[in-house]
């Protein structure tokens, strides 16, 4: 019996000797990967790429109107929209990117034209002039909704006077 107790105590001691370093490594890894590394990467991002790290914010007349990298919530019918929840073709992996296909932009032209009085030809030209390419043969051309809306606000201040900070007319 005594040898059984000794073996059991020996096994418990071996288990404790193995568990303690594992728990220690797990805690140290959590601190490094969960605290130190994110702070380090945030600091490097702020130092090297401050605009991108802060979302590459877009301003019009001194007012921040959105981010180039994240979908901006334009709900009025006078703006292009990045997402149409009822259309699964507009869905993206993250659901927050601000880009839409050329076809999705062209599909919105008639509604924006009706809401603003801007001709469909002018809106189509704005879409075409803001087309962003893709790398070689990969992907389809697209447009950034914030860029389109920014061009609309700057080009048609009389229509978008509530968004320009001025009451000028064109």
pTM of the model: 0.63
Cα separations in angstroms, 51 against 58, 68, 73, 119, 145: 10, 10, 21, 35, 19
Report the distance separating Cα 155 and Cα 149, nearest Å.
10
pLDDT above 70 covers a percentage of the chain that reads 79
In the structure encoding, which two tokens stand for residue 122, read together? 């002018």
| Of 93, 94, 107, 95, the residue nearest 143 (C-alpha) | 107
Question: What residues contact 137, with CB distance under 8 A and at least 6 apart?
Answer: none
- Across the range 33-39, mean pLDDT stands at 95
Q: What is the mean pLDDT of the chain?
A: 82
Exposure b/e, 76-95, CB count within 10 A at least 16 = b: eebbbbbbeeeeeeeeeeee
Angle, CA 83 vertex, CA 77 and CA 87 arms, to 5°: 105
Query: What confidence tens digit (pLDDT) does each residue in 128-139 have?
Result: 999 998 777 778
- Does position 89 have pLDDT exceeding 60, yes or no? no
- pLDDT value at residue 5: 67
Q: Which residues pair with 101 in a beta bridge?
A: 142
């Amino acid at each position: 019996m005594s040898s059984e107790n000794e073996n059991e105590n020996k096994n418990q001691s071996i288990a404790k000797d193995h568990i303690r370093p594992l728990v220690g490594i797990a805690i140290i890894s959590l601190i490094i990967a969960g605290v130190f590394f994110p702070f380090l990467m945030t600091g490097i991002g702020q130092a090297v790429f401050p605009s991108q790290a802060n979302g590459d914010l877009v301003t019009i007349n001194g007012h921040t109107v959105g981010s180039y990298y994240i979908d901006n919530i334009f709900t009025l019918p006078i703006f292009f929209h990045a997402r149409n929840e009822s259309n699964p073709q507009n869905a993206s992996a993250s659901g927050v990117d601000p880009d839409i296909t050329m076809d999705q932009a062209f599909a919105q032209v008639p509604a924006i034209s009706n809401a603003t009085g801007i001709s469909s030809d002018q809106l189509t030209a704005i879409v075409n002039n803001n087309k962003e390419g893709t790398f070689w043969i990969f992907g389809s051309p697209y447009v950034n909704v914030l860029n389109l809306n920014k061009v609309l606000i700057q080009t048609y201040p009389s229509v978008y006077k509530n968004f320009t900070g001025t009451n000028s007319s064109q």
